[in-house]
Chains A and B, each alone.
Chain A
Amino acid sequence: MAYDKFNILKSTAVPLPLENVDTDQIIPARFLKAIERKGFGDNLFRDWRYNSDNTVKESFVLNNPIYKGEILVGGKNFGSGSSREHAAWAVYDYGFRCVVSSFFADIFRNNCLNVGVLPVQVSDGFSDKIFNAIYKDANTEIEINLPNQSIAILSTGEQEFFEINSYKKENMLNGFDDIDYLQNIKGDIEAFANGLLL
């Protein structure tokens, strides 16, 4: 599914400094029953955002009006658990274009890249700096520069570079996805398949 191009994103950020945030928290399984990709943002972090009677849990960060923006800053090992792409859809649909963490679970990271959410992995030290800056001033802006592969805290000028493979980077910059690429090499794929025993 095509998504918006990603180039430079400058935004305030939402801090969620818990570790091991799993995909069942990002979107609980009971909300995976749609057969279309829409509306998943409403149920992002459903059980942390709402009580069982659907009243708002004031203490959860997404319900705190001080914190907003298109960047979600999570704790270590963000997105562990299931392969549900719905987790990445929910993050995107809620309005985040970038998730920052000092460590991502594999499948979640991969899913993000496939749906237009940029996962930015930073060092533990830089992660602490971001949290500190946001807690000091919720209006702190973070700049994600994909062409330069850099992330900066604008209030302090601190900056770090992040990794992304050049293929995925091109895709994100242009809003392409893997199917566009694979369709173009179908001949190679068919030739390969013809040589298989099973």
Chain B
Amino acid sequence: MSKTLFDKVWDSHVVKKIDGGPDVFFIDRHFIHEVTSPVAFLGLKSRGLGVLYPERTFATADHNTPTINQHLPVEDPLSANQLKALEDNSNEYGISHWGLGHHKNGIVHVVGPENGITFPGATIVCGDSHTSTHGAFGAIAFGIGTSEVEMVLSTQCIMQPKPKKMRINVNGELGKGVTPKDVALYTISQLSTSGATGYFVEYAGDVFENMTMEGRMTVCNLSIEMGARGGMIAPDETTFKYLKDKPLSLKGEAWDKAVTHWKTLKTDADATFDKELTFNAIDIEPMITYGTNPGMGIGISKHIPDADAVEGGSVTYKKSLDYMGYQENDVMIGKKVDYVFLGSCTNGRIEDFRAFASIVKGKKKAEGLTAWLVPGSHEVEDKIKSEGILDIITEAGFTLRQPGCSACLAMNDDKIPAGKYAVSTSNRNFEGRQGPGSRTLLASPLVAAAAAITGVVTDPRNLL
């Protein structure tokens, strides 16, 4: 029978099917971090259970870590406590731990791929919804709750009903200044934040085939923002080239054998999806959000829609615009920007810093604007330095911080103050997401860079 890419990976990981219930689903790779794992370890201890396959779990500290002075003790006692719990639990159960200060430390969804932990055809979970990032490699990857973290630690399995399948095709060639982030924000704006709930998405078409792995990771990362558990892209030469010779990638004959298998991981020509959508690259412009969920995005040159033109409750819509301090029909270009955040598991990779630098090169940071540029990992940080990007951004008046999730969810001190506007390359613009009362405009690194030098929402195409 014809199968989709998703079917092939899913079906090969089902240990057992339960009548009228979920599948017992085997997990190849498990990432843990300091925020969603401590209670799972407590659960293990209270039941007297061990970790079944510690070599399949990888720990990194990222969510609450400071992005300056990482060599000093963490000041916030609660954060320090979580970091210590992660370290102690990892040591106790023999799990590899890349804590604060470790040269491989960084955001879980950045360090996993760059070390070759992620691989095509794998099943990957983490107590973090942006685990969908790893789908860029043709893996089934999704976020789980803490109860499931405990299940994976103790049995390497979770119990999941198989989701429905959706394919999203984007064909054609992206215009100048249009990035993978814009493709994702455009797609979410078309589907809404619940349009893919219950589905697992495969992205197909020229646009994704021509994307770099960094771009594919940005797209898959944002799958959850339209409600999908995850999204994936069939592995190809771009994928294999990225993974070859990564520290934990297979080597020699084992690598060759794996690649032969990975090449079979694509949707059969006559396989069917429960839902299929097709968009044209030419319709996508640099995007920006104006509301309090990632589905509230528009092309940067557009007006904020009327409540009447928006599906769903106008009460919710107006509450959202009130929170943002915006009106229906407002133009986004020229809106004041107080903060810029470049980073996160969505856009904290080297390509994102290259894009940012391409705009700010030879210019100056806008007066009065605060910019937080946070690499996704030490490896990204090292490349920023070795490629001369640090010189460019320093010259333009910016400073570089240290790796972590930072202002994406503001669990550390990187909080946008109440009422202030931030153009952010992260993934969520929910009320208070970047700090109580903060107002977030999600956008690409190019749009962030354009705002960083002008202090207002600016079309990056005019600066390229």
- Chain B residue nearest in CB terms to A32: B35
The docked-state distance in angstroms from the alpha carbon of A196 to that of B55 is 14
Q: Which of B16, B19, B151 contacts A179, CB < 8 Å?
A: B151
The docked-state distance in angstroms from the alpha carbon of A94 to that of B220 is 34
- Chain B residue nearest in CB terms to A115: B147
The docked-state distance in angstroms from the alpha carbon of A115 to that of B43 is 12
Smallest beta-carbon distance B434→chain A, Å: 10
- Interface segment, one of B170-178, B191-199, B392-400: B191-199
- Chain A residue nearest in CB terms to B81: A35
**Interface contact A35-B39, CB-CB below 8 Å:** yes
Tell me if A47 counts as interface (CB < 8 A to partner B).
yes
Contacts of B119 in A (CB 8 A): 198
Q: Which of A29, A85, A178 contacts B146, CB < 8 Å?
A: A85
Smallest beta-carbon distance A193→chain B, Å: 7
Contacts of B404 in A (CB 8 A): none
**Interface contact B21-A166, CB-CB below 8 Å:** yes
Q: Which of A47, A182, A196 contacts B151, CB < 8 Å?
A: A182
Q: Interface digits, A140-173 against B, CB 8 Å rule (1 contact, 0 not)?
A: 0000000000000000000000000111100000
Q: Interface digits, B67-99 against A, CB 8 Å rule (1 contact, 0 not)?
A: 000000000101101100100000000000000
Q: Which of B53, B127, B163 contacts A83, CB < 8 Å?
A: B127
Tell me if B252 counts as interface (CB < 8 A to partner A).
no
**Interface contact A186-B155, CB-CB below 8 Å:** yes
The docked-state distance in angstroms from the alpha carbon of A147 to that of B144 is 27
The docked-state distance in angstroms from the alpha carbon of A193 to that of B150 is 18
Tell me if B433 counts as interface (CB < 8 A to partner A).
yes
The docked-state distance in angstroms from the alpha carbon of A84 to that of B258 is 34
The docked-state distance in angstroms from the alpha carbon of A20 to that of B229 is 16
Tell me if B64 counts as interface (CB < 8 A to partner A).
yes
**Interface contact A19-B28, CB-CB below 8 Å:** no
The docked-state distance in angstroms from the alpha carbon of A25 to that of B430 is 8
**Interface contact A37-B432, CB-CB below 8 Å:** no
The docked-state distance in angstroms from the alpha carbon of A196 to that of B144 is 23
Tell me if A7 counts as interface (CB < 8 A to partner B).
no
Q: Using known A-B contacts A22-B293, A182-B159, determine if residue A111 contacts B147 with beta carbons closer than 8 Å.
A: yes
Tell me if B32 counts as interface (CB < 8 A to partner A).
no
**Interface contact A75-B431, CB-CB below 8 Å:** no
**Interface contact A192-B26, CB-CB below 8 Å:** yes
Q: Which of A25, A88, A192 contacts B145, CB < 8 Å?
A: A88
**Interface contact A107-B143, CB-CB below 8 Å:** yes
A interface list, Cβ under 8 A from B: 1, 17-20, 22, 24-25, 28-30, 32-37, 47, 52, 75-77, 80-86, 88, 103-107, 110-111, 114-115, 165-168, 177-179, 181-183, 185-186, 188-190, 192-193, 196-198
B interface list, Cβ under 8 A from A: 15-16, 18-22, 24, 26, 28, 35-36, 38-39, 42-43, 46-47, 49, 52-53, 63-64, 76, 78-79, 81-82, 85, 119, 122, 127-129, 131, 143-148, 150-151, 154-161, 163, 193-194, 197-198, 224, 227, 229, 250, 257-258, 261, 293, 312-313, 315-316, 319, 409-411, 418, 428, 430-433, 436-437
15 inter-chain pairs at a CB distance below 8 angstroms, sorted by A residue, are: A1-B43, A20-B312, A22-B428, A25-B432, A30-B411, A33-B81, A82-B128, A106-B197, A110-B144, A110-B145, A165-B20, A166-B21, A168-B22, A188-B16, A193-B53
